[in-house]
């Protein structure tokens, strides 16, 4: 295949995707959280990255995923460039209690998409005396250790739902704020949307890519499936390597050699974004801060 570089502007959608999607529920409401991660750049400067996460809540199923994807889904749009911050902060999509008693997670780590499976282990929260007012709600506090990190959380019984962001949950009310004991990761409730939206699960995506002869062809992109513990070990090995900060694709062949093309575009902040088949190639990475040990 002839090597080709595809360029698209933010408002132009020249590379599109379709997904094999199943509707697995209808949300009763959606909680919006701001996720902040304290880390360092390649020069050792302290920096705080942030992004929004949407948590759709249905009977028995919760989906926690990047807000930009949720917004695109509501508007019927799909753009590569909006997924950059999620890839930069290594935040995936998590289906809690899907299938029943399990967590299914989907995440992109160049050059592949991954899907993992693990048991739905509930956090063993210990209620504490601290109180606060968060997002206009009177909140109680609790503490729990989950997958190697200790979490301090606030929740409100004014919203009697046991959900939270990411994989956190199981309290007598919705989690309004959760911070790990080191103060690296923080989730803060910043929005509640009372609207019914489909909760969708994509088995794979079909990406429209150039064929090197001036035309476009469809390419099915499957998820690499593995156990969550195996993927976490792989991710920590790759992203925890010191070379990641200066060469974020050090562990994989050059994308032009693998795929024969690279998609380039710009996100809403004007930053250049490179991707292959919708899998973002992170540039200017920051030090990896795992949410699980």
Exposed/middle/buried for residue 112 (C-beta within 10 Å: 0-12, 13-18, 19+): middle
Q: Domain locations in the chain?
A: 4-15+201-281, 19-99+117-199
Find the distance separating the first CA and the last CA of the chain, reported in whole Å.
41
- Give the Å distances, CA to CA, from 206 to 13, 14, 107, 147, 203: 15, 14, 16, 34, 10
Both tokens assigned to 232: 């976490």
186-205 burial by CB neighbour count: b if 16+ within 10 A, else e?
bbbbeeeeeeebebebbeeb
- Model pTM? 0.90
Rg, C-alpha atoms of the chain: 19
Position 269 scores a pLDDT of 64
Segments of the chain scoring below 70 in pLDDT? 1-21, 76-82, 210-212, 214, 267-270
β-sheet with 272-276: strand ranges across: 4-7, 261-266, 272-276, 279-281
Contact between 54 and 64 under an 8 Å Cβ cutoff? The reply is yes
Q: Tally the C-alpha atoms within 13 A of residue 116's C-alpha that lie toward its C-beta.
A: 20
Sign of the torsion formed by the C-alpha atoms of 166, 170, 173 and 175: negative
pLDDT at 272: 77
């Amino acid at each position: 295949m002839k090597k080709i570089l595809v360029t698209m502007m933010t408002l132009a959608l020249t590379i599109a995707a379709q997904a094999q999607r199943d509707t697995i529920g209808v949300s009763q409401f959606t909680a919006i959280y701001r996720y902040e991660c304290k880390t360092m750049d390649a020069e050792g400067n302290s920096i705080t990255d942030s992004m929004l996460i949407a948590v759709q809540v249905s009977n028995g199923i919760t989906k926690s995923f990047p807000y930009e994807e949720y917004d695109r889904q509501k508007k019927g749009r799909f753009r590569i460039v909006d997924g950059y911050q999620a890839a930069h902060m290594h935040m995936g999509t998590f289906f809690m209690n899907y299938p029943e008693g399990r967590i299914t997670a989907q995440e992109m780590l160049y050059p592949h998409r991954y899907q993992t499976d693990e048991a739905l282990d509930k956090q063993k929260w210990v209620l504490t005396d601290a109180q606060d007012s968060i997002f206009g709600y009177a909140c109680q506090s609790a503490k729990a250790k989950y997958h190697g990190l200790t979490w301090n959380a606030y929740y409100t019984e004014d919203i009697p739902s046991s959900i939270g962001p990411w994989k956190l949950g199981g309290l007598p009310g919705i989690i309004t704020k959760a911070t790990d004991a080191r103060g690296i990761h923080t989730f803060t409730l910043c929005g509640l949307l009372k609207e019914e939206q489909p909760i969708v699960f994509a088995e794979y995506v079909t990406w429209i890519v150039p064929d090197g002869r001036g035309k476009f062809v469809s390419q099915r992109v499957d998820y690499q499936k593995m156990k969550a513990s195996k993927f976490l070990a792989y991710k920590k090995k790759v992203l925890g390597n010191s070379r990641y900060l200066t060469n974020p694709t050090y562990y994989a062949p050059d994308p032009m050699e693998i795929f024969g093309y690279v998609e380039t575009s710009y996100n809403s902040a004007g930053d250049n974004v490179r991707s292959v088949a919708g899998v973002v190639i992170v540039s200017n990475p920051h030090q990896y801060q795992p949410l699980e040990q």
